Amino acid sequence: MMIMISLLLLASLLPHLTFTARVNVGIVNGTEAKPHSRPYMVSLQKYKKHICGGFLISDEFVLTAAHCWKGYPEILTVVVGAHDFRKSEDSYRVEVKSYISHPHYTFCSLQNDIMLLRLHEKVKLNNNVTWISLPKECEDVKMNTLCSVAGWGRLWMKGPSTDRLMEANTTTIKNKVCKCKWGSDFQASQMICAHGDGGSCIGDSGGPLVCGNTAVGVTSFVDIKGCNSPERPNVYTKISAYLPWIHQIIRNIK
């Protein structure tokens, strides 16, 4: 049986770790992003602690992974405009008005791992806060495309997280190769897998896989043996497969 787990579920299985010093790390083998170079990035927080990433797709909606929310009565807030959590002057917190998981997602499942968050108020757009474009319907990213990921997650499975946004390049892999490595857990119609020198880890769930200037995937799950494993590349929910659902939700609310 394939060994895999969503990045948020994995975090709950690890022993609680404390660190006396902050380290400049986050994404596996990543580098610190230029402050506010990814103004679409948001931090999903519970009790004011980062648990997942996400990204703005409009001034009112955030796209993230469905496994980042366990259901009511759990309450999440969204921090926009952040880079370094220790410096809050450029960021602010917004309450979530509605949690809209994909109707075919079930908790602990790997499929349909996508969720829309409707914010309680529209964000104020500026140089530090704006949304990212989505792909067109049925538009698949080509394999062997150089893309990138970003987040405030851990450096390795049991490592510390970072206060500063980190990023790394990663390359999309052929569906046939992903299927061979993941077996039936990989569904090419709704997933993308990618691997590079750096990649997503615990706490990066829900963040975007960005190719060019477009968010093509949502960070979903990794091999339980290690983040960014070449044996079982990181897997992202394919956004293009869910565009009809996304557009329908936004239209109905508007």
- CA atoms of 252 and 254, how far apart (whole Å): 6
Specify the fold of 132-241.
Thrombin, subunit H (2.40.10)
**Tens-level pLDDT at each residue, the chain (254 residues):** 444 556 554 444 333 222 222 223 358 889 999 999 999 999 999 999 999 999 999 999 999 999 999 999 999 999 999 999 998 788 999 999 999 999 999 887 899 999 999 999 999 999 999 999 999 887 789 999 999 999 999 876 777 788 999 999 999 999 999 999 999 999 999 999 999 999 999 999 999 999 999 999 999 999 988 889 999 999 999 999 999 999 999 998 86
Specify the fold of 35-131.
Thrombin, subunit H (2.40.10)
* 67 catalytic residue (yes or no): yes
With the C-alpha atoms ordered 141, 143, 146, 150, is the resulting torsion angle positive or negative?
positive
* 104 catalytic residue (yes or no): no
**Buried residues in 60-71 as b, exposed as e (16+ CB within 10 A):** bbbbbbbbbbee
Asked if residue 42 lies in contact with residue 54, where contact means CB atoms within 8 angstroms, the answer is: yes
Task: Kindly name the residue from 205, 220, 229, 240 that is annotated as catalytic.
Answer: 205
Task: Kindly name the residue from 91, 102, 113, 148 that is annotated as catalytic.
Answer: 113
Task: Kindly name the residue from 50, 67, 102, 195 that is annotated as catalytic.
Answer: 67
What residues does CATH 2.40.10.10 cover in the chain? 35-131, 132-241
